A and B are shown apart, each in its own frame.
Chain A
Amino acid sequence: MKDEVTREERIDNLKGMGCSRKRVEDARFTQGKGNYVDDIKLDGMLFGDFVRSPYAHARIKSIDTAAALKVPGVLAVLTAADLEPLGLHWMPTLAGDKQMVLADGKVLFQGQEVAYVVAEDRYAAADGIEAVEVDYEELTVLVNPFESLQSDIILREDLVAEDGSIPAGAHGPRKHHNHIFTWDAGDKLPTEEVIANAEVVAEESMYYHRTHPCPLETCGCVASMDKVNGKLTLWGTFQAPHAIRTVVSLISGIEEHNIRVVSPDIGGGFGNKVGAYPGYVCSVVASIVTGKPVKWIEDRMDNLMTTAFARDYHMTGKISATKDGKITGLKCHVTADHGGFDACADPTKFPAGFMNICTGSYDIPTAYLEVDGVYTNKAPGGVSYRCSFRVTEAVYFIERMIEVLAIELNMDSAELRRINFIKKEQFPYTAALGWEYDSGDYHTAWDKALKTVDYDGLRAEQTKRVEDFKAGKTRTLMGIGLSFFTEIVGAGPVKNCDILGLGMFDSCEIRIHPTGSAIARLGTISQGQGHATTFAQILASEIGLPADSITVEEGDTDTAPYGLGTYGSRSTPVAGAATAMAGRKIRAKAQMIAAYLLEVHDNDVEFDVDRFIVKGAPEKFKTMKEIAFAAYNQAIPGIEPGLEAVSYYDPPNMTYPFGAYVCVMDIDVDTGVTEIRRFYALDDCGTRINPMIIEGQVHGGLTEALAVALGQEIAYDDMGNCKTGTLMDFFLPTAWEVPNYETDFTVTPSPHHPIGAKGVGESPHVGGVPCFSNAVQDAFRPFGNRHTNMPHDHWRIWKMANELGLHD
């Protein structure tokens, strides 16, 4: 048989790895036919919503639900007293703490869930909420973690023994009744000694403010208890549906096989949808009580005020170096504000996430990190907002410390970075705080970035601008923001990464259909990343069937293999690896079938794009499509019928994507208005699966970084009132504020990942925040600015200029 199609055409037909395949998800989304949780409608479905606390710290003297129960359409009102007999008035958090599902005698933050009203529709639920009478006794509010650690006021009486002693918490001894844990990494005394004897030391304190992932779709769920079959179905905005199933089973006592958790289309997650929230528990209980499906959907204010904040790290650093700029040591202390409950979403053994990646991209021989977690009267959370666990905080810290050290050394910070980068030949590199970086080529990336933007030319222009400013010729300053980041993603190896005891492996199951198409199911869940498009591309290259013939399905725990979900850029590093490995199992069986069909020995055939060929005789071949059919219609001696495979992949290491970013910004000194003139982003995420999707991820991550650096925050007043509960106050950039970005790349594959991919979704956020912030700070460096805290909104930049005497 003569093959009319060239090998290149066969490769193109697969739409495999490396091509900018258009997304298969888009048809439904562009036509308004997505299926998000709030689109789910079931017969007789009820609607639940919360009575929330107006106070940040108060004792609850009484709750009267009588009037609410008389409101037309209201069916039930749940309080902690109703949940207590079921043992569901508290629930475990992902961080080893516990959290009230409904206020048990007191409230610890504004917006806390006090009662759950179940009604026929949203309007009736709102009427019911109005009619619930709660009598509060206000208590002194602690919103500052440093004051909290000194205060006599006990926020969590449940964590103090009857004799007044402080029992240890999930992460070891506690120093004070409002203290949660101390966690450290590295060598304390050697680091202090190096710093004490160093030629140059730079010190700085910085506050990485509290913010929020704020996906456009809020959190929500629909719980439906089928009392006839004893089966609970829970649809919801879950970034980790299997973990939710296990948690629901553990806390409800319903056997896991009787629980089906489904994540439908998810309207963005960014970390907000990793945790378990009281709304899920109350909806399940309400469905059991009423025998009807119950829906709960947050409104925007609920979302911003109560579910899963991010950051809130007070960081103090010391960095030491020789006179010529070689870094010798780094010390970091963090006071971490966790709010009223410790509901951080981190692997169990890492209560401060991977903050110990804070030595960054630099060869720093000695380092020490210590983190103290503290309770305050703020909302619980502490999720990784578009980053791996606390990596944004770590990268911001080191990239600011580098700038401060450059000021101390009177040196250019691009050069300071260059002379301290870990060298290409040092990989795999074990950092002072313990991680083993898999691969990197930092100098090449940095040189490419600086050359592309004409760094020297930019600095010359900036010098001229400063002269003009001093001469009164302009009121606009120019900032050049630099950042070089190394991420740590793909959690992670089961030996050190678990959540609630569940190892952080991931999975893929593939079934090849007789006619040569396939379905692949994964333990992850897309929230916009385009998994249905990209995972099919990995498979197309691995098994030689066109991506267009492969359906990718995620999010239904009844059908998908167990996995830990999508966050921390773990889908490609972990589930992507599982996909490739499952594909290779398919290929191994296909090889035996092909050899049988071609009447040669197994070792005499080899895989070639979309077929197995006889070695040395490529005209003799069987396509994967033919092999698939044979797997179902022939009795092949020694081989079971069918063509399926499953892989559970436990990664041997994390992956370490990196990148070099440059931002050029003009700042009006009199208004504080910033204008981003240029933003160049070079990302190295290892092997690239779909360049179009990578670029899209970079644009989006940079925009979320712009938001955080230039204005987005969750702010509280002294009474613990959240001042940023609506999109009026909480900054989300529009098309008008956002620049066009230039994207670029280098490719340094991960040596331990089956396809060399490292993950990219979060890199631009991690690298972007310090880059935007450094641009603002750099503009004011010639006038004495050393460090100013984010967010750099117009008013704060005006204030910065004012404090530096630039309005005099």
Chain B
Amino acid sequence: MSNKMHIKLNVNGKDEEFLAEPRELLIYTLRERLNITGPHIGCETSHCGACTVTIDGKSVKSCTMFAAQASGKSVTTVEGIGGPDALHPLQEAFKEHHGLQCGYCTPGMIIRAQKLLEEIPNPSEEEIRFGMSGNICRCTGYQNIVKSIQAAAAEMNAAKEAAE
């Protein structure tokens, strides 16, 4: 196929520009073209959420979105919210509260949880469970994921309060 499209993305704060077939999926762009391998492929039908990223302020499953559909937008993956020098409170909390086992769902879980805490800074357990229900974990049974998100929310709220 030769009808390539000109696509511009901002990924984790960095501008990217390339030519791609219209059928190229965003997850493929991220993983194969840009070597951003935090987002994973789990189901290819939008069910599992392992590929979750944030696009212009919304949680999106990148396995069912074409790169072309994301053109002109900002994409944030788990790599974009914290790293070795400064972990995001969610990254700390998942480690502290055993919110992961095999780690395959974790990047999607954390980036979704980050969005959820932006939408609802102090969520109830029910709101967490509902808000995370687009992300499947096969290992943890979710109990410690819920705990991790609650702990991160408390930490982030306390930091916000201290700053005010």
Quick check: is B144 within 8 A (CB to CB) of the other chain?
Answer: yes
Cβ-based interface call for A268 (8 A): yes
Partner of A727, one of B24, B45, B129: B45
Chain A: CB-nearest residue to B129:
A735
Q: Which residues of B sit under 8 angstroms from A692, Cβ to Cβ?
A: 98
Q: Given A30-B94, A31-B79, A216-B50, are A728 and B45 also a contact pair (CB < 8 Å)? A: yes
Judge whether A2 is part of the interface by a CB distance below 8 angstroms. no
Contact B142 A735 (CB under 8 A): yes
Q: Whole-angstrom distance between the alpha carbons of A732 and B133 in the complex? A: 11
Cβ B143 vs Cβ A741 within 8 A: yes
Report if A39 contacts B (CB, 8 A): yes
Chain B nearest CB, measured from A535 CB (Å): 16
Main secondary structure of the interface of B (DSSP, over half): loop
Given that A216-B50, A703-B142 are contacting pairs, would A39 and B104 also be in contact in the complex, using a CB cutoff of 8 Å? Answer: no
- Residues of chain B at interface, number, CB under 8 A: 60
Q: In whole Å, how far is B11's beta carbon from the nearest beta carbon of chain A?
A: 13
How far, in angstroms, from A122 to B41 measured CA to CA in the complex? 13
Give per-residue flags for B74-109: 1 if the beta carbon is below 8 A from chain A beta carbons, else 0: 000111001110010011001110101111111100
Interface residues as binary, A20-35 with B (CB distance below 8 Å gives 1, 0 otherwise): 0011011111111110
Contacts of A268 in B (CB 8 A): 101-102, 104, 138-139
- Asked if A700 contacts B138 (CB within 8 A), the reply is yes
Report yes or no: B101 in contact with A530, Cβ–Cβ below 8 A: yes
The verdict on A217 contacting B42 (CB below 8 Å), with A528-B102, A735-B145 known, is yes
Distance (whole angstroms) from the CB of A464 to the closest CB of chain B: 28
Bound Cα distance from A728 to B82, whole angstroms: 33
Binary CB contact string for chain A from 547 to 564 against chain B (1 if under 8 A, 0 otherwise): 000000000000000000
Q: Are A265 and B91 in contact (CB under 8 A)?
A: no
Partner of B141, one of A29, A218, A270, A703: A703
Contact B32–A121 (Cβ < 8 Å): yes
Q: Are B100 and A29 in contact (CB under 8 A)?
A: yes
Are A699 and B140 within 8 A (Cβ)?
Answer: yes
B95 touches A30 (CB 8 A): yes
Is A726 in contact with chain B by the CB < 8 A criterion?
Answer: yes
Task: Determine how close the nearest CB of chain B comes to the CB of A709; give it in whole angstroms.
Answer: 14
Check if A735 sits within 8 Å of B101, measured CB to CB.
Answer: no
Instruction: Tell me if B95 and A26 are in contact (CB < 8 A).
Output: yes
Chain B residues, CB < 8 A from A39: 31, 37
In angstroms, Cα B100 to Cα A529, docked, is 10
* CB–CB A267/B102 < 8 A: yes
Contact with B along A36-63 (1 / 0, CB 8 A): 1011010000000000000000000000
A584 at the interface (CB under 8 A from B): no
- Residues in chain A near residue B145, CB distance under 8 A: 735
Residues of chain B in range 112-152 having any CB-CB distance to chain A below 8 Å: 128-130, 132-146
Q: A38-B31, A39-B31 are in contact. List 10 more A-B contacts (CB 8 A).
A: A22-B98, A32-B37, A32-B39, A32-B107, A121-B32, A123-B21, A692-B98, A699-B141, A699-B144, A741-B141
Q: Which 7 A-B pairs have the closest CB atoms?
A: A32-B38, A29-B103, A528-B102, A267-B104, A699-B141, A528-B101, A703-B141
Q: Which A residues have a C-beta under 8 Å from some C-beta of B?
A: 22-23, 25-34, 36, 38-39, 41, 121-123, 214-218, 265-268, 270, 297, 299-300, 527-530, 692-693, 695-696, 699-704, 726-728, 732, 734-736, 738, 740-741
Q: Could you write out 27 A-B pairs with CB less than 8 Å apart?
A: A23-B95, A25-B103, A30-B87, A30-B110, A32-B37, A33-B38, A38-B37, A38-B40, A39-B31, A123-B23, A217-B40, A217-B102, A267-B104, A268-B104, A529-B101, A692-B98, A693-B98, A696-B140, A699-B140, A699-B141, A726-B47, A727-B43, A727-B47, A727-B48, A732-B47, A734-B135, A735-B132
